[in-house]
Structure 1
Amino acid sequence: MQGFVLGGVSSGVGKTVATLTILQALEDAGYDVQPAKAGPDFIDPSHHEAVAGRPSRTLDLWLEGETGVRRNYARGEGDICVVEGVMGLYDGDGSSTAMVAEALGLPVVLVVDASAGMESIGATALGFAEYADAIGRDIDVAGIVAQRAHGGRHEEGIREALPDNLEYFGRIPPNPDLEIPDRHLGLEMGGEAALPREALREAAETLEAERLVDAASTPPEPAAMEPSEPVDATVAVASDAAFCFRYPATIERFRERGEVVTFSPVAGDAVPDCDGVYLPGGYPELHADALESSDTLAELGDRASDGLPVFGECGGLMAMSRSLTTTAGNRHEMAAILPADVTMHDRYQALDHVELEATGSTLTATVGETIRGHEFHYSSADVDGDAHFAFETVRGDGIDGDHDGLLEYESLGTYAHVHPESGAFDRFLEALDD
């Protein structure tokens, strides 16, 4: 599958809107498009899926390794893949957009905010293209998309200022309808704040879809994953507006090796008959009233105390705790599986790629094993003094700065999100089959 990477000159330049507009332009031109995201984000991919109609692939070298990134890319479908970058093109030590583009051998289309520039856009693009050679990276910056650019003299000035070796792939005009509302973890989810299709189609008309397709390339074939034995296990996955941060590859992995059933704690669903429960991250703080008033978390707590393994990531950890206190100071009772009380804050408490070393065997790792993940949360957990942890933090903050992975019964709650390429979900499935 051919593809290209959309890299920004910085954060906030409008990469997500540019990605959605390009997805629309390619769809309107008759192409079957696969979206992807460089980086561990869950929110931007939800917007991709709202436009493209299929899940966005997560491509992160820290979480997946080079082989895993290539393998996850190859699992996509369609004629062409559009990969939205993270932050600025070269930003990030664990897995920058440039590093992902290099690992896949894909060209970069630079997204430049042209709202207050013209000739300087050419200078910016040239600098980004030549910087790759200066740092010894094999990055092909193919050209630019001018974000928030007017037509007429403005567009012509931008086009003429570009060096001959950089393509002009069109512009996205300024339009208040092409703005996505913010929330404390970033943009609102695609299902809540999908951009108007008419505005996307109008903006898509000022992009040059065929030139973008001509610039695309095909990555090398990845090494095949070692086949894994099926397990006799059913995983119940919480899936609703409170538990919506999960990678498509995670559910695919569960289904490849076991059985999956879903349930909604927000709707008050009964916990399904299963061998283990996975609580993904999300926004339990926005649905704390519904979670507290439903019977689901109380039942989950009872089942966990009887030995049902429950694995929660970030928002899942919050729901597994005794209580959740919002920024308004309202305390809500949660599942009371873990010996912790969680409090929301106005500022984020952690944001980084993480590495964890298991101090004992647990649901997602064996003793001494390290796994890599990502943390981004606005909450903190006040943990009992005699609490037990599964991991020491090699990199990242974890729960208390030194540890992550709170343990109780047969259950585990972490602030880290992990990808199936880490092996963590295979360990989880195998633990359920013991």
Structure 2
Amino acid sequence: MNGIVVGGTRSGVGKTVATLAIVRALRARGHDVQPAKAGPDFIDPSHHEAVAGKPSRTLDLWLEGREGMRRNYHRGDGDVCVVEGVMGLYDGDCSSTAMVAEELDLPVVLVVDAKAGMESVAATAHGFREYAEHAGRDVDVAGVVAQRAHGGRHERGIRDALPDDLAYFGRIPPRSALEIPDRHLGLHMGEEAALDEAALDEAAESINTDRLLDVARTPPRPESGAVGDRTDARIAVARDAAFCFAYPATVERLRERADVVTFSPLAGDDLPACDGVYLPGGYPELHARALEDSSTMDAVAAAAADGVAVLGECGGLMALSESLTTTDEETYEMAGVLPAEVRMHDRYQALDHVELRATRDTLTAAADDRRRGHEFHYSNADVDGDARFAFDVVRGSGIRDDRDGLCEHRTVGTYCHLHPESGAFDAFVEGAR
């Protein structure tokens, strides 16, 4: 599967829209496109899936390591992969877009804001290409997509100014219909705010797919990657608008190791008979009243008290707490499994790649094991003074006092989102059974 990386000069330059236009253009030419996202984000991939018709792969050097990242890439399904970058091309100390492109040996299509420039667009792209050598990175900036560029003279001026070794791949016209609304945690999800079809088609028409395919190439294969034996465990995974932040690879790994059943706390589904419950992150704060009234969450609390293994990540941690207070100062009762009261804030409380060290055997790690993940949340948890934790935080913020993994019964709640390449979900399946 040949691929390209869509990088940007900075955050907010329009990488997501450019990626969606490229995906749309390639699909219009009859290609089977596998979308992917550099970095740990859950929201941009939801937009990829809405346009590509298949889940987006997560490619993060910190979460997965080089071999895990290559393995995750090659598990994709299609004839061409379009990888959206994170932040600016070189930004990030442990898994920048440039690092991902380098480890996968994929060319970079640079998105440059062309609203008020022509020759300067070419100068910017040239500088980003040359900076790779200065930064000691083997990064191939192959060409540009001009964001917010008009046609005619504007487009010709950009194209003609580019050096011979930088290709012009097309433009994204300045259209308000190509703007995705945002809120805390980022953009709205793809199923909530899909782009206008006509505007996306217009943008796709300007993309030179032949040139893109000419520069695309296939990353090296991973050197290893055995998956553990299948077990007889049964894992129940929450999937709805309150629990929508689960990596596709996580569900895949769980299905390879166990029988997986999904359920919706918002719909009031019965909790399936199971050995383990996984509550991913999401937006419990937007559905706090429904969760307070949910008989499903009452059943999760009863299962936890009976010793069923329960793992809650970020939003899952919040839903398992005693209460959740919104920014409007409205407090709702949650499942009451974990000894914490959670409060939402207007500003994010943590945003970083994370490393945890287990201080005891727990659901996702044995004592002294390390797990790498990611945290991004607008809440904080006020925990009881005698609360028990499973992890010391080596990097990141955690829940309190450089600790994470709040424990009660056989339940663990964490602000850290984990990827299956960390080994966490293999450990969870083994612990559940």
Q: If the length of structure 1 is used for normalisation, what is the TM-score? A: 0.99
SS of equivalent to 1:78: coil
Match of 1:315 in 2: 315
Q: What is the match of residue 10 of structure 1?
A: 10
Match of 2:285 in 1: 285
**Equivalence map 1:18-417=2 (5 Å):** 18-417=18-417
Write the distance in 2 (CA, Å) between the matches of 1:127 and 1:57: 29
Q: Residue 198 of structure 1: CA displacement?
A: 1.8
Cα distance in 2 between the residues matched to 1:226 and 1:20: 33
Structure 1 unaligned residues grouped into runs of 5+: none
Instruction: Tell me, in whole angstroms, the C-alpha distance in 2 between the residues paired with 1:129 and 1:366.
Output: 44
Compute the displacement of 1:224 (Å).
3.2
> Any conservation in 1 of the 2:86–2:96 contact (CA below 8 Å)?
yes
**What is the deviation of 1:401?**
3.9
SS at match of 2:300: helix
Q: One-letter code of the match for 1:421?
A: E
- For 1:303 and 1:429, locate their aligned partners in 2 and report how far apart those are by CA, in whole Å: 16
AA aligned to 1:32 is D
Residues 205-260 of structure 1: per-residue CA shift (max 9 Å, x gap): 11111111111011111123124111110100000000000000000001111110
TM-superposed CA distance for 1:293, in Å, is: 1.3
Instruction: Tell me the alpha carbon deviations over residues 169-192 of structure 1, each in whole angstroms, 9 at most, x when there is no partner.
Output: 010101111010001000000000
Which runs of no fewer than 5 residues in structure 2 stay unpaired? none
Q: In 2, distance between residues paired with 1:191 and 1:291?
A: 21
Aligned counterparts of 2:116 and 2:278: Cα–Cα separation in 1: 47
Q: Whole-Å Cα distance in 2 between the matches of residues 256 and 97 of structure 1?
A: 30
Q: C-alpha displacement at 1:276, in angstroms?
A: 0.6
Q: Say whether the 8 Å CA contact 2:35–2:48 is kept in structure 1.
A: yes
Whole-angstrom distance in 1 between the partners of 2:4 and 2:408: 45
Q: Which amino acid aligns with 1:47?
A: H
Deviations 1:310-332 (Å, cap 9, x if unpaired)?
Answer: 10000000000000010001100
Percent identity of paired positions between Structure 1 and Structure 2: 70
Aligned amino acid, residue 31 of structure 1:
H
Query: Deviations 1:373-430 (Å, cap 9, x if unpaired)?
Result: 0000000000000000000000000001410000000100000000000000000001
In 2, distance between residues paired with 1:187 and 1:64?
Answer: 24
Change (3 A) 1:94 1:327: same
| Amino acid in the other structure paired with 1:363 | L
Give how far 1:281 is off: 0.1
Aligned partners of 2:152 and 2:115: how far apart in 1? 14
CA distance in 2, matches of 1:232, 1:78: 31
Distance of 2:45 and 2:143 partners within structure 1: 24
Q: 1:339 is aligned with what amino acid?
A: P
- Distance in 1, matches of 2:41 and 2:10, equals 16
* Partner Cα distance (1:120, 1:259) in 2: 55
Any conservation in 1 of the 2:363–2:412 contact (CA below 8 Å)? yes
Return the alpha-carbon distance in structure 1 between the equivalents of residues 231 and 432 of structure 2.
Answer: 8
Rounded to whole Å, the distance in 1 between the matches of 2:227 and 2:251 is 17
Give the CA deviation at 1:306.
1.1
Larger deviation, residues 241-250 vs 207-216: 207-216
Q: Aligned partners of 1:45, 1:427: CA distance in 2, in Å? A: 26
Matched positions, count:
433
Spell out, residue by residue over 1:10-67, the C-alpha distance to the aligned partner (whole angstroms, 9 max, x if none): 0000000000011000011111100000000000000000000000000000000000
Letter in 1 for 2:424: A
Asked if structure 1 preserves the Cα contact closer than 8 Å seen for 2:308 and 2:432, the reply is no
Aligned to 1:428: 428
